[in-house]
């Protein structure tokens, strides 16, 4: 018996697509693509077979046939975001801990704070995404501000030269060294911290300075004075 003859006797669109009633929209779409390929005239099927599959998909896709996905259980998922992900947000799949080969797509907006929670639904399970912070090699977070540490040579400070830093967004900034800079000084770069979704503003980048002061003796004093006098 051909597929065409079989389909004529079947009025149930779920059966035509090989699905159980209540399948998700994603499963319906996948089944439709598979059956449409099998029954396509270019693949050995007939126009009637192909149209039957198309009609079944249209029938199921009508609003009254699309199942409402209700949560059968709730699971808390902790997601540690990098500084970059906190700045730019993340729209990607994550693997659920302790679940073999289970990936869930999350969409966390820019400026998510540690402790923020976002709800998503996937295959009947409601996931509560709890935002945590992944340690960064350069920056640490303080509210919406970011903190970094920079070591400067005492000669550069005495000559009041400038120095380069890379901001969290990848920008290169050249900063002048203030005259009164000492170990413990803080240089504030406004608007280069993390985005605050509530205030619609970005925090600051706070650069904590540490001075590299060499131990001077008769062997290195002359070289130190030469370096201080040069314009390099």
Question: Which CATH code for domain 140-229?
Answer: 2.60.260.20
More confident residue, 162 or 101: 162
71-96: per-residue pLDDT in tens?
Answer: 567 778 888 888 888 888 888 887 76
- The answer to whether domain 73-133 has CATH 2.60.260.20 is yes
> Residue 215 corresponds to which tokens in the numbers above?
């131990």
Backbone φ/ψ region at 191: left (φ over 0), alpha (ψ -120 to 50), beta: left
Q: State the Cα–Cα distance between residues 126 and 131, nearest whole angstrom.
A: 16
* pLDDT number for residue 188: 92
pTM over 0.75, yes/no: no
Q: 106, 54 in Cβ contact below 8 A? A: no
pLDDT-derived band at 220, boundaries 50, 70, 90? confident
pLDDT-derived band at 99, boundaries 50, 70, 90? low
For residue 197, give the 3-state DSSP assignment.
Answer: coil
Confirm whether 3-65 and 73-133 share one CATH topology: no
How is the chain split into domains, by residue range? Answer: 3-65, 73-133, 140-229
* pLDDT number for residue 64: 46
Helix (H) or strand (E) holding 79: strand 73-81
Q: What is the mean pLDDT of residues 198-210?
A: 89
State which of 1-15, 176-190, 218-232 shows the largest mean pLDDT.
176-190
Given a cut of 70, whether residue 47 has pLDDT beyond it is yes
* pLDDT number for residue 111: 81
Q: β-strand 73-81 against 125-133: which pairing, if any?
A: parallel
Given a cut of 80, whether residue 127 has pLDDT beyond it is yes
The count of other CB atoms within 10 Å of the CB of residue 51 is: 13
Write the class of the CATH domain 3-65.
mainly alpha
């Amino acid at each position: 018996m051909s597929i065409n003859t079989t389909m004529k006797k079947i009025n149930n669109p779920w059966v035509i697509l090989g699905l159980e009633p209540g399948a998700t929209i994603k499963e319906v779409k996948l089944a439709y693509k598979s059956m449409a390929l099998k029954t396509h005239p270019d693949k050995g099927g007939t126009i009637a077979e192909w149209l039957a599959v198309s009609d079944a998909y249209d029938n199921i896709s009508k609003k009254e046939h699309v199942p409402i996905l209700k949560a059968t259980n709730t699971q808390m998922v902790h997601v540690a975001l990098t500084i970059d992900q906190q700045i730019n947000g993340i729209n990607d799949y994550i693997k659920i801990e302790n679940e073999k080969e289970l990936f869930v797509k999350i969409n966390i907006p820019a400026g998510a704070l540690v402790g923020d929670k976002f709800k998503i639904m996937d295959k009947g399970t409601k996931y509560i995404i709890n935002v945590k912070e992944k340690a960064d090699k350069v920056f640490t977070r303080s509210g919406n501000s970011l903190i970094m540490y920079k070591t400067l040579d005492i000669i550069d400070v005495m000559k009041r030269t400038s120095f380069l830093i890379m901001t969290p967004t990848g920008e290169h900034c050249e900063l002048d060294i203030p005259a009164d800079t000492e170990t413990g000084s803080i240089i504030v770069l406004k608007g280069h911290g993390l985005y605050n979704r509530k205030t619609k503003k970005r925090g600051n980048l706070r650069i904590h300075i540490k001075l590299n002061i060499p131990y001077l003796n008769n062997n290195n004093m002359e070289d130190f004075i030469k370096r201080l006098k040069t314009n390099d």
